[in-house]
Amino acid sequence: MGRHDTYDKLIFFCLSILLLHIPLKNADALACNWGTQASHPIPPNIVVKLLRDNGFNKVKLFEADPGALRALGKSGIQVMVGIPNDLLATMASTVTNAELWVQQNVSQYISKYGTDIRYVAVGNEPFLKTYKDRFVKSTYPALQNVQAALVKAGLGRQVKVTVPLNADVYESGDGLPSSGDFRSDIKTLMVSIVRFLADSVSPITFNIYPFLSLNADPNFPREYAFFPGSGGSGGGGAKPVVDGSISYTNVFDANFDTLVSALEKNGFDAEKVEIIVGEVGWPTDGDVNANTALAQRFNQGLLNRIVQGQGTPRRKTAPEVYVFSLVDEDAKSIDPGKFERHWGIFSYDGAVKYPLSLGNGRQLVPAKGVRYQAREWCVLSPQAAAGNGPNGATWTSSVEYACQLADCTSLGPGSSCAGLDSAANASYAFNMYFQKMDHRRGSCVFNNLGVVTKIDPSSGSCRFPIEIDTSRLRPRKNSGAGEGKWGTVVTAAMAVVWAVFY
């Protein structure tokens, strides 16, 4: 009897340990985008722990980043890995190229590292009007070839393909969701892609940005950008858009249901089509409409919907939603605006920007274990600030130089550092360059205008950051068969394609 008691206790202990590592039910649906365009990225293992600590068990990568894919191995986090637009022509040219990419960036990580890759995103918003049809001819054949490559690799059931598309691929002539249809110039192509994905039991993916709707149109009703019950008047302050028997109180629902109408007009059952919202969020800096208060309001309303499994008026089935994004990225392009580098719900270092409830009483928690560079800042020297710069040197050229090479998107109207005077602006620019250059000797000179200080110059909402110490992050040798060789394969393949077809 005693032996059975001991055995039962052992079983109970093991089950208790397992249960501690199972995410809470409501947090189980949380997904987000992990962008890696940062000059000093958080180490991947710390990011993975940050995801797990906050209940995110699904993540989307914009490219097959080796460090991220290794760190995600055996983490319990499902992964969508992306193929950048610049590789679409290569993927479209031959199935062999797609097979090579799948082997190097999907099969290898599944078999060797236990990475739970569930989707391959073929391109990212390839039909944006600003691309001027650059990827229109290559996207669909690339999608077909990648799907064929997954099937050949024995992953056709485990890994699905999709194409993340911007919401501008569908439109409504009168602004009502019920009038939605695919954009006329790509309608035939869109129907083919949706049908191919449906036949492959794969999802369609669309990105929806209420922030961009608000930011692009000065007449856009501000409250219409937010969800009901997300703080303030929560969408109730805007005049509802009445579409037949439906009253829309927020642009997310109206936008999504425009897609639903487009699907139905082209013969699809929108309730049966798997739909993923690949990106949706709100930035916190770089623009008058980009701040922590509005981001908190929007994202809390969004998370409430996700946790509650809420659909839209025309589609009761809730879509899978990937929050955009996890952390800020200081190396991203600033097109269409400075806010592009500030979409994270966490700062560049994994610090919590603002409180968010994740359901079941859980709150955001920061990253743990991040190492920083020395506690030093580069600022404009007191003599220069007093107008006594050596040899009459001015600040303008030095500030411009610093901001060409470092991230100064927190400066300017509407940004978190908009209240700084000209001297403090120069200090901010100097420090951003100093941090990006890892405090190297000579990186705080600026024609003898700069000086290193150990006193934090941050003021009010304007934070003078200290960068992450990435000195220990070195490329691993022999870290997986074929890793790092794909760029060479792509280059060679492209050369052959151009020689034969052009």
Assess whether 173 and 220 both reside in one domain: yes
Assess whether 310 and 393 both reside in one domain: no
For 171-245, where are the alpha helices, taking DSSP H only? Answer: 187-199, 210-216
CATH of the domain at 333: 3.20.20.80
Give the pLDDT of residue 360: 86
235-264 per-position pLDDT tens digit: 456 789 999 999 999 999 999 999 999 999
Assess whether 169 and 262 both reside in one domain: yes
pTM of this prediction?
0.88
On whether residue 300 sits in a domain, the answer given is yes
Assess whether 384 and 341 both reside in one domain: no
Assess whether 179 and 317 both reside in one domain: yes
On whether residue 461 sits in a domain, the answer given is no
Cα separation, 261 vs 220, whole angstroms: 22
On whether residue 157 sits in a domain, the answer given is no
Could you list the beta-strand ranges (E) of 423-500: 450-453
Assess whether 342 and 388 both reside in one domain: no
Q: Kindly state the tokens that stand for 431.
A: 């420090």
Torsion, Cα of 302, 305, 309, 314 (10° steps): -100
Cα separation, 164 vs 187, whole angstroms: 16
Question: Which residue range(s) make up the domain with 387?
Answer: 377-453
Assess whether 196 and 272 both reside in one domain: yes
Give the pLDDT of residue 473: 61
346-367 per-position pLDDT tens digit: 999 999 999 999 988 899 999 9
Give the pLDDT of residue 239: 85
**Exposed e or buried b per residue across 375-391, where buried means at least 16 C-beta atoms within 10 angstroms of its C-beta:** ebbbbbbeebbeeebee
On whether residue 225 sits in a domain, the answer given is yes
Burial class (CB in 10 A: 0-12, 13-18, 19+), 152: middle
Cα separation, 111 vs 78, whole angstroms: 15
The residues annotated as belonging to the active site are 125, 279
Residues of the chain where predicted confidence (pLDDT) is lower than 50 = 1-27, 232-235, 474-502
Domain count, the chain: 2
Give the pLDDT of residue 151: 98
Assess whether 188 and 320 both reside in one domain: yes
Assess whether 198 and 312 both reside in one domain: yes
Assess whether 167 and 313 both reside in one domain: yes
Q: How many other C-beta atoms lie within 10 A of the C-beta of residue 270? A: 18
